[in-house]
Amino acid sequence: MKLIIAIIQPDRLESVKQELYKQEVYLITVNEVLGHGRQMGVTEVYRGVKEMGNLLRKIRLEIAVNEDFAEKTISAIIKGAQTGETGDGKIFVLDLAECVRIRTEERGGVAIG
């Protein structure tokens, strides 16, 4: 089992979701987060005082999948989120030790899907 964490641009969320649905990946968790990589944010001004390098809004997705879904999920996220510009985001893939469905107490691969 893998846990896939992706940081993407907020406006790409809709197209990433559509790509994931095409691969029959429906179970996702979405967070709004702040951060910046090479973009270094936008300068804001409040009553003439400049705020440099403010953090930018990003979307963080968490998707837990079985091994055979991992590559499909990764390519779906890339397909939905890639624009070719700085700030498109990153995908992190982690090994997942266990997964329990609370309702039934099922464990492992069955609990994920």
Partner 1 sequence: MKRFFVTLLLVCFLGMPALALHALAQDAPSVAGGAVREGAAPSAPAAQAPLKADTGDTAWLIVATALVMLMTPGLAFFYGGMVGRKNVLGILMQCFTILCLISVQWVLYGYSLSFAPGKGFWGSLEWAGLKGVGFAPYADYAATIPHQLFMVFQMMFAIITPALIIGAFAERMKFSAFVVFMVLWATFVYDPVCHWVWGVGGWLKELGALDFAGGTVVHINAGIAALMTAIFIGKRKGAAGKAILPHNLPFTILGTALLWFGWFGFNAGSSLGANDIAVNAFIVTNTAAAAAGLTWALIDWIFNKKPTMLGMATGAVAGLVAITPAAGFVSALSAIAIGVLVSVLCYFVVAYIKPKLGYDDALDVFGVHCVGGIWGAVATGLFASKAVNPAGADGLFFGNPKQLLVQVIAVAATAAYSFAASFIIYKAIDLVMKVRVKEKDEIVGLDLTQHHENAYTVLE
Q: Which of 28, 42, 34 is nearest to 7 (CA)?
A: 34
Which stretch, 37-45, 62-70, 71-79, 90-98, contacts partner 1 (CB under 8 A)?
37-45
Q: How far apart are CA 22 and CA 35, in angstroms?
A: 29
46 is an interface residue for partner 1 by CB under 8 A: yes
| 84 Cβ contact partners less than 8 Å away, ≥ 6 residues apart | none
- Options 11, 24, 67, 106; binder of partner 1; rule CB under 8 A: 11
Indicate the residue among 32 and 67 with the shorter CB distance to partner 1: 32
Region binding partner 1 by CB under 8 A among candidate stretches 7-15, 63-71, 90-98, 104-112: 7-15
Q: How many helices (H) and strands (E) does the chain have?
A: 3, 6
In angstroms, what is the minimal distance from the CB of 57 to partner 1? 7
Residue pair 4/112 in contact (Cβ under 8 Å)? The answer is: no
Residues 90 and 7: beta-carbon distance below 8 Å: yes
Using CB under 8 A, which of the segments 22-30, 41-49, 69-77, 102-110 binds partner 1?
41-49
> Contact positions toward partner 1, by CB under 8 A?
9, 11, 14, 32, 34, 42-46, 54-55, 57
